[in-house]
């Protein structure tokens, strides 16, 4: 006899509303089903109603954690539409902000993962050290979280010369802390007991299900947009792509922690090699008909923006594919065969961000046809 | 007549309900504060538990439609009653407990299991899948730690040759603490680990694992009934620690510093606090285990410790 364990839409293991329906036999999971769409915000549609400049702020609000990644990709797409080149200094500053964001996001993730396995002390320590990065972000962009630094054609705020020693000092501190955490996480018996061999995603499945980001790299798939399709200043910076063959939760922990070290390395190089020059170039408000695709490696994986312009100051269409959207199918092979106790940590191990992921399509289940309804129809629609 | 009044005072005021609740809430408050400092946080004030319980008592009490109301309501009350009763049987001020009727260690072991059984009943009767899963886990956990806890106690009983707690405390007053006896030491370690599981603390907070099954058996409880659960849990904490103190750490001892005589209860409470703080430390340096891992851990390493101790006590005179 199977027994349904509902996880969500409200559950302590979930930071955002999403509904998982686990069919269990005792403690073992035999099947699962998930339902997204609790936090759909209609941002793609809203982008068509606003000007290119205005849309930067909208794209920034798609994800609170990886806001720099979103604006970077958006700005790159629009710059490609308009056919303009970003000044060198702006490219480097964007790179620094992207990497600082990766550090803060990975530390945040590590804290949450520790909390999911009941290790609250480690959770607090990770978040304590995350404050260091947030301070850096505040110093460079003026904001701890929502950087609001990227703009079409460049960046809005400069990294001042007096900031550089401070940034380097904090990065040294972070590197020391990260090394301590790596030795802790790879040696603590209880952490190993909860993470090794749990939620395994084999390399073949990871490739078949188009998994992206650290989740794919932990399964041995060697993908990283920063190296494969360099953007901003990544082609002028040397770094390693971390992969491990394990495929389990522990491999994902290790990949993210080692990526922290790589990110620190990249930020340090970018800060030291910061070229002189202007911060931004002007961009005309109206853009001729064109289309563009841009990809960026976010903390969670590949982010894709596809934009079409139509000669006005508003985009014809912007399509966004967030990393969680790509990673959701890979949850199934991770969960089936595991136990209820593994649900939170396996779910957290892909570092999900559901608000970015929600899309809506109305499908008639009898005819399999999708249809479009107006806002007025939707308001009156019952069920 | 006097006996009846005394009995009522004992069970309701000292060392019964009132005293036990006050000390329990205070100690868990200290536990939270110390735990917070271990995690590099400031933490709540040490009287936070009083505020929490006070708030819960004034809140709306909701019974889920699917719940078995009578069992659901009785579970916290019975649990609290059992925990307070053990308090009456512990030697707190001197070797003699408040309740002088013949009640030996076997009764205490039974009574200490009642809160666990009540949590299971509360979970199953709540009609929530989280409650049912949590109760199921608790059954497994009970089977992992309880036998080892009893084995450790048996080692002491064999050493002392008596089932009565006052006799055990008296023996330690003459022969020194049992924890200092190398034959008993493995049993003490086993009992401390079992107590960690009995008190549902990390790494054995599996039945109420917050991120996995919300609050396990207590998920559907709210308002005053949850407050009673909190008090029951807090009293259980000091009662289990108190039993360990009486068994292994000499129980209440009078101290004379200079010309001031410090009563045994102070000594007893300090020892309880030390044990509570030991469990606080353990719960802050580990991650939660899975239920199968906990079961395996108890039946291999911890059971081995308890059995070694028992064999040593039996073989080495």
CA-nearest residue of chain A to B136?
Answer: A26
| Shortest alpha-carbon distance between residue A22 and chain B (Å) | 12
Q: In angstroms, how far is CA A247 from the centroid of its own chain?
A: 19
For A210-227, how does the pLDDT look when each residue is reduced to its tens digit (9 = 90+)?
899 899 999 989 888 888
Please give the average per-residue pLDDT across A367-383, as a whole number. 75
Interchain pair A124, B41: CB under 8 A: yes
| B71 CB burial (10 A radius; 0-12, 13-18, 19+) | middle
pLDDT at res. B134: 87
The distance between the two most distant Cα atoms of chain A, rounded to a whole number of Å, is 69
* Residues A315 and A55: beta-carbon distance below 8 Å: yes
For A273-316, how does the pLDDT look when each residue is reduced to its tens digit (9 = 90+)?
888 888 889 888 888 898 999 999 988 888 999 999 988 889 99
Interchain pair B211, A342: CB under 8 A: no
Task: Place B102 in a pLDDT band, splitting at 50, 70 and 90.
Answer: low
Residues of A in contact with B297 (CB under 8 A): none
Asked if the peptide bond before residue A9 counts as cis, ω within 30 degrees of 0, the response is yes
DSSP B180: G
Residue A192 in tokens = 């190993």
Residue B295 sits at the chain A interface (C-beta within 8 Å): no
| A/B interface, count of CB pairs below 8 Å | 79
DSSP A358: -
Q: What is the ipTM of this complex?
A: 0.83
Residue B56 in tokens = 């819960």
What residues of chain B, 186 to 205, have a C-beta less than 8 Å from chain A?
Answer: 202-203, 205
pLDDT at res. B27: 92
State the DSSP string of A272-296.
HT---S-SB----SS--SEEEEEEE
Task: Place B101 in a pLDDT band, splitting at 50, 70 and 90.
Answer: low
DSSP run (H or E) holding A21: strand A19-25
Lowest mean pLDDT among A116-120, A174-178, B52-56: A116-120
| Mean of pLDDT over chain B | 87
How many Å apart are CA B124 and CA B41, to the nearest integer?
36
Instruction: Say whether pLDDT at A325 is over 80.
Output: yes
Interchain pair A117, B203: CB under 8 A: no
Interface residues of chain A, partner chain B, Cβ below 8 Å:
3-6, 11-13, 26-27, 114-125, 128, 188, 190-191, 193-194, 339-344
How many Å apart are CA B221 and CA B227, to the nearest integer?
9
| B93 CB burial (10 A radius; 0-12, 13-18, 19+) | middle
pLDDT at res. A383: 55
Helices (H), A83-212: 88-116, 120-141, 163-185, 189-195, 203-208
Residues of B in contact with A132 (CB under 8 A): none
Overall residue count recorded for chain B in this entry: 317
What do you get for the CA distance between the two ends of chain A, in Å?
A: 32
Instruction: Say whether pLDDT at A83 is over 70.
Output: yes
How much is the CA Rg of chain A, to the nearest whole Å?
Answer: 21
How many Å apart are CA A60 and CA A68, to the nearest integer?
7
| Mean of pLDDT over chain A | 87
Task: Place B316 in a pLDDT band, splitting at 50, 70 and 90.
Answer: confident
| Shortest alpha-carbon distance between residue B297 and chain A (Å) | 11
pLDDT at res. B4: 83
Task: Place B235 in a pLDDT band, splitting at 50, 70 and 90.
Answer: very high
Interchain pair A341, B206: CB under 8 A: yes
* Residues A20 and A26: beta-carbon distance below 8 Å: no
* Residues A48 and A317: beta-carbon distance below 8 Å: yes
How many Å apart are CA B304 and CA A370, to the nearest integer?
64
Q: Which of A94 and B181 is assigned the larger pLDDT?
A: A94
Please give the average per-residue pLDDT across A10-29, as a whole number. 83
pLDDT at res. A382: 66
pLDDT at res. B278: 92
* Residues A100 and B12: beta-carbon distance below 8 Å: no
């Amino acid at each position: 006899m199977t027994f349904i364990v509902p996880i969500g839409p409200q559950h302590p293991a979930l930071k955002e509303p999403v509904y998982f329906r686990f069919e269990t036999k005792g403690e073992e999971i035999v099947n699962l089903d998930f339902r997204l769409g609790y936090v759909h915000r209609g941002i793609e549609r809203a982008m068509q109603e606003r000007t290119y400049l205005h849309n930067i702020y909208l794209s920034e609000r798609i994800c609170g954690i990886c806001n720099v990644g979103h604006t970077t990709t958006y700005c790159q797409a629009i710059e490609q539409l308009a056919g303009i080149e970003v000044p060198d200094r702006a490219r480097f500053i964007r790179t620094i902000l992207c990497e600082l964001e990766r550090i803060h996001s990975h530390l945040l993730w590590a804290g949450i993962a520790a909390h999911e396995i009941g290790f609250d002390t480690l959770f607090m320590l990770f978040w304590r050290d995350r404050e260091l990065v947030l301070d850096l972000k505040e110093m460079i962009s003026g904001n701890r979280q929502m950087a609001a630094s990227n703009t079409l054609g460049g960046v809005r705020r400069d990294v001042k010369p007096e900031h550089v020693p401070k940034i380097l000092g904090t990065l040294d501190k972070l590197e020391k802390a990260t090394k301590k955490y790596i030795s802790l996480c790879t040696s603590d018996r209880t952490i190993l007991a909860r993470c090794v061999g749990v939620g395994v995603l084999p390399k073949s499945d990871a490739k078949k299900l188009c998994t992206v980001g650290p989740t794919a790299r932990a399964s041995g798939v060697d993908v990283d947009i920063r190296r494969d399709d360099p953007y901003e200043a990544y082609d002028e910076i040397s770094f390693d792509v971390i992969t491990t063959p394990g495929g389990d939760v522990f491999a994902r922990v290790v990949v993210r922690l080692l990526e922290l070290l790589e990110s620190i390395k990249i930020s340090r190089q970018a800060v030291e090699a910061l070229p002189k020059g202007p911060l931004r170039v002007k961009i005309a408000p109206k853009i001729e008909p064109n289309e563009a695709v841009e990809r960026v490696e976010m903390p969670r994986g590949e982010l894709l923006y596809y934009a079409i312009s139509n000669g006005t100051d508003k985009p014809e269409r912007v399509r966004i594919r967030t990393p969680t959207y790509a990673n959701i199918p890979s949850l199934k092979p991770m969960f089936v065969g595991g136990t209820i106790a593994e649900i939170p940590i396996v779910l957290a191990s892909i570092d999900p961000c559901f608000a970015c992921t929600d899309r809506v399509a109305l499908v008639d289940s009898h005819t399999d046809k999708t249809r479009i309804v107006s806002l007025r129809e939707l308001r009156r629609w019952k069920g | 007549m006097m006996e009846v009044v005394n009995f009522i005072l004992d069970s309701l005021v000292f060392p019964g309900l009132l005293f036990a609740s006050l000390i329990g809430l205070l100690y868990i408050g200290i536990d939270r504060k110390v735990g917070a400092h271990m995690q590099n946080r400031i933490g709540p004030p040490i009287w936070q538990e009083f505020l929490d319980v006070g708030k819960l008592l004034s809140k709306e009490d909701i019974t889920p439609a699917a719940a078995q109301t009578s069992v659901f309501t009785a579970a916290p009350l019975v649990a609290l009653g059992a925990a307070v009763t053990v308090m009456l049987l512990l030697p707190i001020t001197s070797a003699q407990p408040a309740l002088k009727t013949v009640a030996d260690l076997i009764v205490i072991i039974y009574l200490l299991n009642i809160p666990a059984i009540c949590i299971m009943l509360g979970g199953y009767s709540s009609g929530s899948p989280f409650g049912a899963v949590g109760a199921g886990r608790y059954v497994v956990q009970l089977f992992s730690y309880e036998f080892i806890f009893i084995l450790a106690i048996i080692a002491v009983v064999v050493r002392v040759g008596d089932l009565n707690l006052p006799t055990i405390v008296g023996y330690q007053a003459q022969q020194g603490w049992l924890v200092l006896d190398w034959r008993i030491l493995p049993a003490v370690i086993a009992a401390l680990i079992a107590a960690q599981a009995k008190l549902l603390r990390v790494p054995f907070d599996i039945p109420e694992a917050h991120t996995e099954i919300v609050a396990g058996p207590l998920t559907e409880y709210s308002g005053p009934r949850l407050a009673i659960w909190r008090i029951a849990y807090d009293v259980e904490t000091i009662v289990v620690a108190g039993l360990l103190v009486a068994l292994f750490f000499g129980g209440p001892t009078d101290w004379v510093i200079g010309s001031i005589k410090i009563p045994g209860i102070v000594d007893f409470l300090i020892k309880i606090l030390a044990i509570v703080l030991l469990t606080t430390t353990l719960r802050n340096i580990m991650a939660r285990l899975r239920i199968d891992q906990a079961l395996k851990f108890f039946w291999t390493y911890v059971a081995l410790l308890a059995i070694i101790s028992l064999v040593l006590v039996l073989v080495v005179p």
